[in-house]
């Protein structure tokens, strides 16, 4: 241990075990480490291996951040990909393993844990901390509006909008307040993930999390006041500290599950300014083969440069012949990669727009770089984020599905053209970027919230 830092508070950081949670919590951990805190970062064993494998820097460069792991009790990758199984493991297996980990740390010569900083999605970690007499803070890597929705569950039940298991009583559009984005009850986060069992577990987790939040001194989130004014006025206890970006620390993103292919940055350097369509669907979206081919054909008829992230597991059954001939035809103006340094890609001047599944991290990263969006949400909070992008901030357009549920090549071409030919989208995106980044500049609201949090950690 670094002698000069001995005695600095030791923070245990626990993300929900998914890529979109690990990256922002790792970013927050690096901010804490830069302030001299010792951080122990807890992944599941499975994710720990992925993260270690994908790390571009040597572990000893990490100094104050220690990556550790706990078992999640799942045996196969197949189980891990089933929403019902993973939520079951998170609810019933991980808590006792995390408790044991803290006991082990406290029984060793390592500095005791002085604060548990838990992902808001796993409120049980706050309960463990309280039971063990450790101070605690929660961090939500999603929109504040999602948290407000979660906190509104009792009212939604009282008002007959959902039943006690979270099932919407009917499909309808609601608003949590007149200035909040529209929410379609069929797209409620718990109602749009996986099967009935997954819905039940996720709803239970959210109800439990609302209870656990009463035990925390801090409820931080990766957002800003201006982006979600209505949500923050409904729940002023939520404090934004976003946008959390590696570039603010002049560092690199960490916590990737796949190694980054940085060759795309060189390729982007060779493209004209604002010419490239960037296409990425986060870490979990899986494509139906017909839709996958339709997207490829859509990109082809757009006849513009594109950079497309095709994760190795993005499609269940890949048609090699199609992919090869597509790649051959597109080689002059398109690049397909398996995982990119997304924050750097979005910051690149050659990016024109972002075809996105609207995960919250991707949303914040696009907004922070003034990039207009084409929205293609799949599940969870992605529909809500799309409402923000298209209806509230007006920095993007949504795709419309046809009667088969497919987003056709013509729809892709027409929306790309509409977005890029109307400069108002880019203009608003640049204004939004400026407003958002002011928050993390010295004296900005997110900056102040984070500073106050640091002061509290030190006490």
- Determine how many CB atoms are found less than 10 A away from the CB of residue 209: 23
Question: From the CB of 378, what's the least distance to ligand UDP, in Å?
Answer: 8
- Site stretch for ligand UDP (CB under 6 A), options 186-194, 241-249, 358-366, 395-403: 358-366
Which of 166, 359, 366, 377 binds ligand UDP (CB under 6 A)? It is 359
Q: With binding defined as CB under 6 A, does residue 365 bind ligand UDP?
A: yes
Residue closer to ligand UDP by CB (options 77, 164) is 77
Q: Is position 23 an interface residue for ligand UDP (rule: CB under 6 A)? A: yes
20 scored as a contact of ligand UDP (CB under 6 A) = yes
Identify the sign of the CA torsion 241, 247, 249, 254: positive
- 282 contacts ligand UDP (rule: CB under 6 A): yes
By the rule CB under 6 A, 152 interacts with ligand UDP: no
Measured from the CB of residue 135, what is the shortest distance to ligand UDP in angstroms? Answer: 28
- Residue whose CB is less far from ligand UDP, 241 or 280: 280
Please state the three-class secondary structure of the chain as a single string: CCHHHCCCCEEEEECCCCHHHHHHHHHHHHHHHHCCCEEEEEEEHHHHHHHHHHCCCCHHHHCCEEEEEECCCCCCHHHHCCHHHHHHHHHHCHHHHHHHHHHHHHCCCCCCCCEEEEEHHHCHHHHHHHHCCCEEEEEECCCHHHHHHHHCHHHHHHCCCECCCCCECCCCEECCCCCCCCEEHHHCHHHHCCCHHHHHHHHHHHHHHHHHHHHCCEEEECCCCCCCHHHHHHCCCEEECCCCCHHHHCCCCCCCCCCCCCHHHHHHHCCCCCCEEEEECCCCCCECHHHHHHHHHHHHHHCCEEEEECCCCCECCCCHHHHHHHHHHHCCCEEEECCCCHHHHHHCCCEEEEEECCCHHHHHHHHHCCCCEEECCCCCCHHHHHHHHHHHCCCEEECCCCCCCCCCHHHHHHHHHHHHHCHHHHHHHHHHHHHHHHCCCCCCHHHHHHHHHHHHHHC
* Residue 280 within binding range of ligand UDP, rule CB under 6 A: yes
Task: Name beta bridge partners: 276.
Answer: 305, 351
Binding mask 83-122 for ligand UDP (x = CB under 6 A): ----------------------------------------
Stretch binding ligand UDP (CB under 6 A), from 116-124, 243-251, 277-285, 430-438: 277-285
Q: Does residue 296 touch ligand UDP according to CB under 6 A?
A: no
Contacts (CB under 6 A) with ligand UDP, residues 235-274: 253, 256
Q: Which is nearer to ligand UDP, 42 or 264 (CB)?
A: 264
Nearer to ligand UDP, 167 or 262 (CB): 262
Q: Give the residue nearest to ligand UDP (CB).
A: 20
Should residue 17 be labelled a site residue for ligand UDP when binding is judged by CB under 6 A?
A: no
Pairing outcome for strands 396-398 and 38-44: unpaired
What mask, x for binding ligand UDP by CB under 6 A, covers residues 309 to 348? Answer: x-----------------------------xx-xx-----
Distance CA 243, CA 357 (A): 19
Number of amino acids touching ligand UDP (CB under 6 A) = 20
Of the residues 64, 152, 271, 283, which one makes contact with ligand UDP according to CB under 6 A? 283
Q: Which stretch binds ligand UDP (CB under 6 A): 81-89, 279-287, 323-331, 412-420?
A: 279-287
Smallest distance from ligand UDP to CB 365, Å: 5
Segment interacting with ligand UDP (CB under 6 A) among 185-193, 218-226, 360-368, 425-433: 360-368
Region of 171-179, 224-232, 275-283, 388-396 interacting with ligand UDP (CB under 6 A): 275-283
Q: Which residues bind ligand UDP (CB under 6 A)?
A: 18-20, 23, 253, 256, 280, 282-284, 309, 339-340, 342-343, 359-362, 365
């Amino acid at each position: 241990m670094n002698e000069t830092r001995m005695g600095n508070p030791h923070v245990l950081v626990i993300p929900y075990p998914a890529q979109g949670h690990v990256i922002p919590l790792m970013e927050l951990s690096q901010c804490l480490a830069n302030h001299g805190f010792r951080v122990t970062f807890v992944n599941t064993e499975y994710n720990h291996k992925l993260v270690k494998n994908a790390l571009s820097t040597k572990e000893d460069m990490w100094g104050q951040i220690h990556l550790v792991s706990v078992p999640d009790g799942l045996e196969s990758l197949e189980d891990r990909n089933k929403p019902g199984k993973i939520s079951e493991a998170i609810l019933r297996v991980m808590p006792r393993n995390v408790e044991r980990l803290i006991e082990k740390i406290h029984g060793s010569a390592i500095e005791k844990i002085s604060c548990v900083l838990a992902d808001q999605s796993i409120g049980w970690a706050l309960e463990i901390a309280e039971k063990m007499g450790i101070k605690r803070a929660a961090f939500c890597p999603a929109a504040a509006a999602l948290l407000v929705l979660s906190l509104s569950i009792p009212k939604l039940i009282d008002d007959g909008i959902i039943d006690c298991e979270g099932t919407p009583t009917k499909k309808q559009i609601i608003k949590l307040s007149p200035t909040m984005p529209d929410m379609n009850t069929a797209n409620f986060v718990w109602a749009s993930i996986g099967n009935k069992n997954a819905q039940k577990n996720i709803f239970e987790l959210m109800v439990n999390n609302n209870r656990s939040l009463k035990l925390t001194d801090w409820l931080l989130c990766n957002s800003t006041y201006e982006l979600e004014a209505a949500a923050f006025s409904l729940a002023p206890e939520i404090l934004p500290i976003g946008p959390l970006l590696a570039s603010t620390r002049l560092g690199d993103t960490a916590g990737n599950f796949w190694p980054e292919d940085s060759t795309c940055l060189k390729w982007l350097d060779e493209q004209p300014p604002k010419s490239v369509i960037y296409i990425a669907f986060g870490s979990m979206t899986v494509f139906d083969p017909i839709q996958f081919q339709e997207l490829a054909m859509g990109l082809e008829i757009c006849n513009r440069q594109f950079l497309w992230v095709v994760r190795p597991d993005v499609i269940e059954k890949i048609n090699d012949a199609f992919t090869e001939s597509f790649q051959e035809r597109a080689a002059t103006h398109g690049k397909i990669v398996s995982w990119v340094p997304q924050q750097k890609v979005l910051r690149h001047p050659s990016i024109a727009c972002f075809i996105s599944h609207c995960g919250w991290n991707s949303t914040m990263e696009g907004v922070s770089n003034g990039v207009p969006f084409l929205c293609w949400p799949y599940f969870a909070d992605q529909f809500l984020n799309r409402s923000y992008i298209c209806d509230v901030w007006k920095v993007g357009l949504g795709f419309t599905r046809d009667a088969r549920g497919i987003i056709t090549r013509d729809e892709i071409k027409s929306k790309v053209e509409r977005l890029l030919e109307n400069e108002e989208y880019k203009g608003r995106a640049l204004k939004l970027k400026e407003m958002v980044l002011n928050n993390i500049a010295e004296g900005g609201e997110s900056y102040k919230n984070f500073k106050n949090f640091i002061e509290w950690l030190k006490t």
